[in-house]
């Protein structure tokens, strides 16, 4: 068996090379050259994206001695991860322009992207732990490079401690899998686990879920998110609210579907309960927030709950993977759009009170309209992407026989509407109370334009995206 | 042509957003032009509609989300067409009315035009998902219209409006999804959202699940209708909304629920509706009597008119119930004709009433009925108010009579006690309108009240509604003919 299939990991290699070049580059650049690493990172990701598109139609196979998957599932998720990272890089570069952290932010971002991309393809317990750590560590770094000051440091520390504990618990659970089956390979584990003691399998699963629940901010391992989101700079918050989540869902789906086939240990119902709790808690907590970043943090917890509905039925309902993928793509667009506006705010005023949005529709009508579109999409109003995404998710839950969950989710969406409208109320229904200043850089405009375009396109003409996402169903078993 | 009519308002709206804000007059005339062209187009559709052929005409079907069997599928039924013309008319009159007023012209025009696209699309959608999409597109602008240009309590009213209707529409969405999952699809998709396909498949007929699916639809349509006990948002929204917002809300948006009730619920779940027909009939009667009684208790004219909407739209709910209680074709046709007629008639009469009350409130600075009197001295205002009020209380010769007479007539044939209760509601609302007329027009004019009669622009906005109401009262066949085929096929369902 040839175990050195370097040809198969073109995108990963491009990302890794960029990472390696960025580290010294970021240390060397001075003055106006400090924008160079961001440009370089963007270039590396575009190359990786291009190489990844080439792999979309490859026949599915396991490379590197069966430890790494080359399949439709991986390719589509990599596309989502790299694409959303590119969209997140634009506001990050704009936000840090002219600041000390300018050359360092893209480096941390690149490592996180590499970790996320590789996680989506990993078929081996060792690789899963490795890349999950890479993704998380890079995310901690990204939070820490953003801004001096107490809140950012606190956020980094909190993120780091919770992350380290969650991932350690998860690694412990993974070691159970090895103990039960004597293998590190997900597919061998899946084949052998049926004969193992169900109690221990359940224990292993529960421990593993801790790690993934941390990455995707599912209840009850979400509590780091609001503080970290609030502490980090807005564009970084946008990034960590999207990328680790998409990568986490990729890893979770692959693990559950391959290593725990046929709903082993009853994970579908476990995930369904997790989904219900996550959306309820996220929505209830978001109702009371007075700061935008915290509001969006709880909203993103609730959004993770919605996606978990599709995860719960992923093993039984065809199309559940496409629905999850569609929703994550929609989520990336609308959430990044919202955080881009918050970034424009925060850079000027240093804060993110809801009331500071007051009257934005008069002072900056374009920005206000785009933020409104993003929020309405998050709330699931047609014809925006978030609407069709929610329809698909509800449909999956109903097809999978989880009628109670679909009804519960619909009630939650009503709750969600209330807090998504609060910024809209401030922007449109109240008069400005002073100067609202926005930080202006071309990067914001590009990010807002692209994300809004994506939100509209996915909602109005979803057929091409759904055709692409149907590739998600091609997964190694 | 139909596609053009659906999207013309939206395109005009986008054009207006692109025009310079420094020339409000140009913006206003452009929005009036867009609305007027939409009205002309809808009239063209009206006259090219083949009333005898029936079925769904001017149909366009294209793939939208092929993988889940949802398509962009629009076409005209007799009732849909009538409401589309009504919507386009009201939209145009609203633009006439605001021709020289309102701040933030761009947003104002854009939101109304966007709502126009939502409404026209909704009344022509032949696919459940598309119907839902247009439903929400019609709702969102109203939130902003109430919230930005409304009165003192506008933020509260806007939020309440949106939360109520959104909760209802999400319940409706779940029911749509359930219906979808019960319907076999064609051409690759496992299921179908096509209204015709769901009607052919009759999912859940005879099961207990059917009740829950119907309940979801009733919640969605009932909030919008509005029916007791889901009406709570309506008075607030109406009172706070600017005049033109109230006109669109009462004239066109309430028809969304009525249309859904008759043209989605009945054909998709006829057996279930028959089984629970008493529920619909009871809701209809309660709304009808309650709406009239609650209106009687109001001093604020706008709030009063808002409550009468609950009374008027109660007839539509009652008609759906009567339809289910009997299988007599003639009775069913009568009641459905009445309900469909009521939808158009209420749009004309209440739309006009809201214009008048809005103008009165604007001029006098109050809408309290006790503050008025002796306005008989304003001939144009008094004449129009009298005409519209008599139309609303069901005076023969005006459109309201044709509508209510048919529903009550059908009720008599089915259950005499229901009919007695209906007549009770009718009596209360008669007293109510007479009290409005007496309070505003008769008696001594308060000394501090000094208001002008309607000006030309206002006449242009209201007179068409009054004339149409009169026309439909004298020549109901104008409307009944295009409706007849749609109504006949509905009447024959589930027997």
pLDDT by residue (tens digit) across A78-110? 999 999 999 999 999 999 888 888 888 999 999
Confidence of residue A149 (pLDDT cuts 50, 70, 90): low
| pLDDT for res B48 | 87
pLDDT by residue (tens digit) across B157-173? 998 998 899 899 999 99
Instruction: Evaluate if residue A350 carries a pLDDT over 90.
Output: no
Q: Kindly state whether B72 is in contact with chain A, defined as any CB-CB distance less than 8 angstroms.
A: no
Q: Kindly state whether B161 is in contact with chain A, defined as any CB-CB distance less than 8 angstroms.
A: no
Kindly state the tokens that stand for B3.
Answer: 């596609």
Rg (CA), chain A: 21
B10–chain A nearest CA distance, Å: 13
| pLDDT for res A146 | 64
Q: Kindly state whether B178 is in contact with chain A, defined as any CB-CB distance less than 8 angstroms.
A: yes
B298–chain A nearest CA distance, Å: 28
Q: What range defines the domain where residue B444 resides?
A: 1-492
Identify the residue with better confidence: A263 or A268: A268
Question: CB count, 10 Å around CB of A137?
Answer: 18
A364–chain B nearest CA distance, Å: 13
| pLDDT for res A104 | 87
Report ipTM for this prediction: 0.89
Chain A, 296-335: which have a CB under 8 Å from a chain B CB? 319, 322
Secondary structure (DSSP) of A212-240: HHHHTT-TTS-THHHHHHHHS-HHHHHHH
Please give the biggest Cα pair distance in chain A.
70
Kindly state the tokens that stand for A311.
Answer: 């995860």
Residues 6+ apart with CB under 8 A from A419: A283, A286, A287, A289, A295, A299
Identify the residue with better confidence: A371 or A350: A371
Q: If you measure CA to CA, which chain B residue comes closest to A320? A: B68
Contact B155 A410 (CB under 8 A): no
Span of A449-453, B9-13, B473-477 with lowest mean pLDDT: B473-477
B308: left (phi over 0), alpha (psi -120 to 50) or beta: alpha
Look-up of token digits 């992407």: A385
Residues A181, A170: Cα–Cα separation, whole Å: 17
Confidence of residue A46 (pLDDT cuts 50, 70, 90): very high
CA angle, B27 then B33 then B37, to 5°: 150
Chain A neighbors of B174, CB-CB under 8 A: 394, 398, 406-407, 410
Instruction: Evaluate if residue A116 carries a pLDDT over 70.
Output: yes
B5–chain A nearest CA distance, Å: 18
Q: Which residues of A38-64 are buried (b: 16+ CB within 10 A; e: fewer)?
A: bebbbebbebbbebbeebeeeebebbb
Report H helices in B326-373: 329-364
Q: What does pTM read for this prediction?
A: 0.92
Contact B177 A413 (CB under 8 A): no
Instruction: Evaluate if residue B136 carries a pLDDT over 80.
Output: yes
Strand partners, A291: A353
| pLDDT for res A8 | 82
- CA-closest candidate to residue B317, choices B264, B262, B271: B262
Kindly state the tokens that stand for A291.
Answer: 């700061």
Average pLDDT, chain A: 90
Task: Summarize the confidence of residues A285-300 as an average pLDDT.
Answer: 92
Question: CB count, 10 Å around CB of A27?
Answer: 11
Average pLDDT, chain B: 88
Kindly state the tokens that stand for B479.
Answer: 């409307």
| pLDDT for res B152 | 84
Strand partners, B65: B70
Task: Summarize the confidence of residues B270-296 as an average pLDDT.
Answer: 92
CA atoms within 13 Å, Cβ hemisphere of B126 = 19
Answer yes or no: are the C-beta atoms of B184 and B139 closer than 8 Å.
no
Kindly state the tokens that stand for B349.
Answer: 């009469």
Task: Summarize the confidence of residues B124-128 as an average pLDDT.
Answer: 92
| pLDDT for res A476 | 73
Look-up of token digits 């909602």: A459
pLDDT by residue (tens digit) across B350-375? 999 999 999 888 888 888 888 888 88
Q: Kindly state whether B137 is in contact with chain A, defined as any CB-CB distance less than 8 angstroms.
A: yes
Instruction: Evaluate if residue A1 carries a pLDDT over 70.
Output: no
Q: Kindly state whether B144 is in contact with chain A, defined as any CB-CB distance less than 8 angstroms.
A: yes
Kindly state the tokens that stand for A222.
Answer: 């979400």
pLDDT by residue (tens digit) across B314-339? 999 999 999 988 888 888 889 999 99
Chain A neighbors of B177, CB-CB under 8 A: 391, 394-395, 398, 406
Q: What percent of chain A has pLDDT over 90?
A: 61
Answer yes or no: are the C-beta atoms of A476 and A69 closer than 8 Å.
yes
Answer yes or no: are the C-beta atoms of B104 and B148 closer than 8 Å.
yes
Span of A40-54, A431-445, B464-478 with lowest mean pLDDT: A431-445
Instruction: Evaluate if residue A282 carries a pLDDT over 90.
Output: yes
B66–chain A nearest CA distance, Å: 7
Structural domain count, chain B: 1
Identify the residue with better confidence: B21 or B75: B75
Each domain of chain A, given as residue ranges in start order, spans 266-476
- CA-closest candidate to residue A143, choices A325, A297, A332: A297
Chain A neighbors of B67, CB-CB under 8 A: 319, 322, 463, 466-467, 470
Instruction: Evaluate if residue A458 carries a pLDDT over 90.
Output: yes
The 3-state DSSP class for residue B494 equals coil
Answer yes or no: are the C-beta atoms of B75 and B58 closer than 8 Å.
yes
Answer yes or no: are the C-beta atoms of B161 and B248 closer than 8 Å.
no
Which candidate from B107, B129, B144 shows the least CB-CB separation from A391?
B129
| pLDDT for res B128 | 92
Chain A, 429-458: which have a CB under 8 Å from a chain B CB? 429-430
């Amino acid at each position: 068996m040839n175990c050195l299939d370097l040809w198969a990991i073109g995108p990963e290699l491009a990302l890794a090379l960029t990472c390696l070049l960025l580290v010294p580059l970021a240390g060397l650049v001075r003055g106006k050259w400090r924008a160079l690493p961001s440009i370089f990172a963007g270039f590396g990701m575009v190359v990786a994206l291009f190489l990844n598109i080439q792999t979309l139609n490859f026949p599915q196979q396991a490379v590197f001695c069966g430890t790494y998957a080359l399949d439709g599932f991986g390719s589509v998720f990599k596309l989502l991860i790299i694409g959303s990272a590119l969209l997140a890089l634009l506001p990050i570069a704009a936000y840090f322009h002219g600041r000390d952290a300018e050359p360092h932010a893209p480096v941390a971002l690149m490592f996180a992207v590499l970790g996320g991309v590789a996680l989506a393809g990993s078929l081996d317990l060792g690789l899963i732990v490795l890349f999950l750590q890479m993704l998380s560590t890079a995310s901690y770094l990204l939070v820490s490079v953003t801004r001096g000051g107490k809140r950012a440091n606190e956020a980094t520390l909190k993120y780091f401690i919770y992350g380290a504990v969650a991932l350690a618990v998860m690694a412990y659970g993974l070691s159970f899998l090895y103990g039960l089956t004597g293998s590190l390979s997900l597919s061998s584990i899946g084949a052998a686990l049926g004969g193992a003691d169900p109690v221990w399998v359940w224990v292993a699963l529960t421990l593993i879920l801790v790690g993934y629940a941390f990455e995707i901010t599912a209840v009850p391992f979400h509590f780091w998110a609001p503080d970290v989101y609030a502490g980090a700079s807005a564009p970084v918050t946008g990034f960590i609210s999207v990328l680790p989540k998409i990568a986490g869902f990729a890893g979770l789906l692959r693990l559950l579907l391959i290593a725990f086939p046929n709903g082993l240990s009853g994970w579908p119902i476990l995930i369904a309960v997790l989904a219900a709790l996550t959306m309820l808690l996220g929505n209830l907590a978001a109702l009371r927030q007075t700061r935008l970043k915290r509001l969006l943090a709880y909203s993103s917890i609730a959004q993770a709950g919605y996606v978990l509905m599709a995860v719960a039925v992923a093993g039984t309902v065809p199309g559940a993977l496409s629905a999850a993928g569609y929703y994550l793509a929609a989520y990336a667009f609308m959430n990044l759009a919202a955080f881009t506006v918050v970034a424009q705010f925060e850079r000027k005023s240093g804060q993110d009170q809801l009331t500071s949005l007051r009257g934005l529709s008069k002072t900056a009508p374009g920005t206000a309209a785009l933020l409104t579109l993003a929020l309405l999409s998050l709330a699931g109003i047609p014809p925006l992407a978030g609407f069709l995404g929610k329809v698909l998710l509800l449909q999956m839950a109903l097809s999978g026989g989880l009628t109670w969950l679909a009804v519960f989710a619909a009630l939650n969406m009503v709750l969600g509407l209330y807090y998504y409208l609060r910024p809209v109320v401030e922007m449109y229904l109240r008069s400005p109370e002073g100067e609202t200043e926005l930080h202006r850089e071309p990067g914001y405009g590009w990010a807002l334009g692209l994300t809004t375009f994506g939100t509209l396109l996915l909602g109005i003409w979803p057929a091409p995206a759904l055709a692409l996402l149907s590739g998600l169903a091609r997964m190694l078993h | 042509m139909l596609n053009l009519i659906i999207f013309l308002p939206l395109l005009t709206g986008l054009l207006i957003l692109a025009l310079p804000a420094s020339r409000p007059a140009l913006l206003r005339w452009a929005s009036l032009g867009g609305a007027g062209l939409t009205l002309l187009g809808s009239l063209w559709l009206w006259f090219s509609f083949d009333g005898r052929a029936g079925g769904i005409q001017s149909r366009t079907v294209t793939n939208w989300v092929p993988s889940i069997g949802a398509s962009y599928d629009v076409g005209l039924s007799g009732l849909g067409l009538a409401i589309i013309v009504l919507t386009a008319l009201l939209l145009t009159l609203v633009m006439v009315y605001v021709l020289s007023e309102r701040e933030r012209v761009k947003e104002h025009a854009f939101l109304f035009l966007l709502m126009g696209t939502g409404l026209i699309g909704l009344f022509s959608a032949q696919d459940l998902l598309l119907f839902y999409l247009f439903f929400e597109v019609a709702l969102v602008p109203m939130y902003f219209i109430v919230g930005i240009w409304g009165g003192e309590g506008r933020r509260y009213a806007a939020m309440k409006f949106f939360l109520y209707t959104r909760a209802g529409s999400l319940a409706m969405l779940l029911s749509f999804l359930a219906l979808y999952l019960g319907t076999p699809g064609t051409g690759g998709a496992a299921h179908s959202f096509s209204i015709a396909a769901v009607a052919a498949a009759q999912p859940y007929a005879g099961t207990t699940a059917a009740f829950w699916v119907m309940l979801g639809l009733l919640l969605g349509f009932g909030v919008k209708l509005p029916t007791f006990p889901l009406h709570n948002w309506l008075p607030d929204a109406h009172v706070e909304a600017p005049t033109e917002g109230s006109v669109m809300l009462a004239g066109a948006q309430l028809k969304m629920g009525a249309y859904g009730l008759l043209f989605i619920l009945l054909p998709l779940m006829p057996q279930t509706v028959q089984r629970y027909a008493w529920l619909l009939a009871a809701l209809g009667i309660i709304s009808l009597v309650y709406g009239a009684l609650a209106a009687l208790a109001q001093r604020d004219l706008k709030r009063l008119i808002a409550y009468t909407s609950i009374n008027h739209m109660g007839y539509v709910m009652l008609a759906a119930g009567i339809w289910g209680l009997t299988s007599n074709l003639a009775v069913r046709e009568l009641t459905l004709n009445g309900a469909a007629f009521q939808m158009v008639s209420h749009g004309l009469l209440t739309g006009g009433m809201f214009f008048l009350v809005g103008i009165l409130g604007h001029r006098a600075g109050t809408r309290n009925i006790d503050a008025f009197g002796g306005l008989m001295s304003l001939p144009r205002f008094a004449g129009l108010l009298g005409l519209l009020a008599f139309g609303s209380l069901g005076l023969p010769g005006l459109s309201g009579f044709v509508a209510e007479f048919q529903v009550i007539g059908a009720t008599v044939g089915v259950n005499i006690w229901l009919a007695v209760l209906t007549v009770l509601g009718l009596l209360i609302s008669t007293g109510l309108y007479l009290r409005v007329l007496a309070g505003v027009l008769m008696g001594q004019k308060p000394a501090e009240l000094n208001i002008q009669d309607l000006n030309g622009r206002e006449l242009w906005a209201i007179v068409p509604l009054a004339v149409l109401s009169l026309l439909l009262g004298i020549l109901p066949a104008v409307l009944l003919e295009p409706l007849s085929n749609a109504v006949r096929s509905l009447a024959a369902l589930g027997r």
